[in-house]
Amino acid sequence: MSGPRSAKDFFRPLAVGAPTPLTEIPARPSRAIHFFDPSNPKMAAKIPDMVGTVDVLLGNLEDAIKADNKVAAREGLVQIARQTEGLGGPAAKTQLWTRINSLDSPWVLDDLTTLIPAIGDRLDVVMVPKVQGAEDIHYVDRLLAQLEAKAGLTRPILVHAILETARGVANVEEICGASPRMQGVSLGPADLAADRRMKTTRVGGGHPGYLVRGDRDVDNPDAPRPSYQQDLWHYTIARMVDACAMHGIYPYYGPFGDIADVVACEDQFRNAFLLGCVGTWSLHPKQIAIANRVFSPSVEDVAHARRVVAAMGDGTGAVMLDGKMEDDASLKQCLVMVELAEQLAA
Ligand code: GLV
Ligand code: MG
């Protein structure tokens, strides 16, 4: 069955330095990637208690961190990684990711040259913002290879790209396949909206003006008509999901900025899950619970999927179940659900 490729596909020799034996990186669930500001001591103090409650903790160095705090954020992340039990590395309960500054910023080189020697053994994934094309991934790939070799690391650090420029969207297929380090891609709706000159002023989610209205009643032109808000992000998410599936890496929603609107947040996350995304970002602890719920298949869906798998026997032909036709193709969908449930339970 196709799907996210197995961890051993991430294995490859480092490009620079003496050959280093790399260990396999297990594909681990990452339903919620929870962002924190490592330069904020209050947030940093909460991190140890969050280990084990969320799949990924991400120390953010890019947007939302003031220019004056970039150094403090880097140093804070190093401290947190060193002091927090169970965070990052092969045996971690919660993965440790970072979002570095963009490749056209004055900070990114210092981000990587500080973090990899200091905590490269704990960092699971480096999230790269504003990726425009394969060349950006190649650049980070080479830098990581050099820094890993210099630090004697035995496990490659994976790369995650944020899709947040029109050019990045146009190049999403080549970005996904640019390196065996590619772990996944997230939608970056805020920067993408600006880059595309969309007329929104929010971080992710829908817009009340983006709607389709029901037909007018010719006999009663003044009667109220239903209207349905549409999903601003459907095209980009669908395109990202296809590109990720094509290259066997993981697609993610991204930020949902209206923290108070848990209903719309859940709807947006669920749309992304149904379209094929495996997770999303969390900007507030209450979004972790939403993401964990939404990006885990429901007990009912998994039970149904198992019934189809059992009914399909050797996996060929067609059977009727509850009045519905099931065949090889519906079996494959059910296997996706069962595999995800097993991966989450492991
Ligand atoms: C995230 O970085 C975004 O721009 O939405
Ligand atoms: Mg952004």
- What is the SS3 string spanning 65-104? CCHHHHHHHHHHHHHHHHHCCCECCCCCCEEEEEECCCCC
CA–centroid distance, 54 to ligand 2, in Å, is 22
3-state secondary structure 114-161: HHHHHHCCCCCEEEECCCCCHHHHHHHHHHHHHHHHHHCCCCCCEEEE
Q: How confident is the model at residue 27 (pLDDT cuts 50, 70, 90)?
A: low
Residue 220 has pLDDT above 90, yes or no: yes
Q: How far is CA 31 from CA 174, 238, 338, in A?
A: 24, 18, 16
Which ligand 1 atom minimizes the distance to the CA of 129? 2
Distance between CA atoms of 191 and 205, rounded to whole angstroms? 13
Two structure tokens written together for 180:
């065996």
Give residue 78 CA to ligand 2 midpoint distance, Å: 23
Whether residue 164 is annotated as binding a ligand: the answer is yes
Which atom of ligand 1 is the closest one to the Cα of 187? 5
- Residue pair 268/296 in contact (Cβ under 8 Å)? The answer is no
Q: Which ligand number lies closest to the CA of residue 203? A: 1
Per-residue pLDDT at 117: 98
First-residue to last-residue Cα distance in the chain:
20
Question: Residue 346 has what pLDDT?
Answer: 80
Quote the CA–CA distance of 311 and 278 in Å, as a whole number: 27
Q: Whose CA is nearest to atom 3 of ligand 1?
A: 188
Question: Could you identify the atom of ligand 1 that is nearest to the CA of residue 255?
Answer: 5
Q: Is the pLDDT of residue 26 over 80?
A: no
How far is residue 15's CA from residue 223's CA, in Å, rounded to a whole number? 68
Q: Rounded to the nearest whole angstrom, what is the distance from the C-alpha of residue 40 to the centroid of ligand 1?
A: 20
Q: Given ligand 1 and candidates 63, 131, 282, which is best to mutate, with the most ligand atoms within 8 Å of its CB?
A: 63
Q: What is the mean pLDDT of residues 174-203?
A: 96
User: 229 by DSSP, 3-state: which?
Assistant: strand
19 has a pLDDT exceeding 90? no
The pLDDT tens digits of the residues spanning 230-278 come to 999 999 999 999 999 999 899 999 999 999 999 999 999 999 999 999 9
Q: How far is the CA of 191 from the centre of ligand 2 (A)?
A: 5
User: Of the residues 65, 162, 195, which should be mutated to test ligand 1's pocket, given the most ligand atoms within 8 Å of the CB?
Assistant: 162
Question: If we measure between CA atoms, which residue out of 5, 23, 22, 29 comes closest to residue 273?
Answer: 29
Specify the ligand 1 atom closest to the Cα of 63: 2
Nearest CA to ligand 1 atom 2: 188
Question: For a pLDDT cut of 70, what percent of the chain falls above it?
Answer: 92
Does residue 200 sit in helix, strand or coil?
A: coil
What pLDDT score was predicted for residue 215?
93
For residue 268, the model assigns a pLDDT of 97
The residues with which 346 forms a beta bridge, in sequence order, are none
Residue in 118, 154, 177, 186 with CA at minimum distance from that of residue 25 = 154
Q: How far is the CA of 180 from the centre of ligand 1 (A)?
A: 24
Q: Which residues approach ligand 1 with their CB closer than 6 A?
A: 63, 129, 162, 164, 188-191, 203, 254-255
Ligand 1, pocket-test mutation among 128, 191, 195, 202, most atoms within 8 A of CB: 191
Mean pLDDT of the chain: 91
In the structure, how many helices (H) and strands (E) does the chain have?
Answer: 12, 12
- Name the residue at shortest CA distance from atom 1 of ligand 1: 188
At residue 1, the pLDDT reads 37
52, 56, 143, 137: which is closest to 95 by C-alpha?
56
ipTM, interface predicted TM-score of the complex: 0.99
Query: 274 CA to middle of ligand 1, Å?
Result: 21
Give, in order, the Cα–Cα distances in Å from 241 to each of 165, 202, 264, 277: 16, 23, 21, 7
Tens digit of each residue's pLDDT (9 = 90 or more) over 77-131: 999 999 999 999 988 999 999 999 999 999 999 999 999 999 999 999 999 999 9
Specify the ligand 1 atom closest to the Cα of 191.
Answer: 4
Ligand 1 geometric centre to CA of 225 (Å):
35
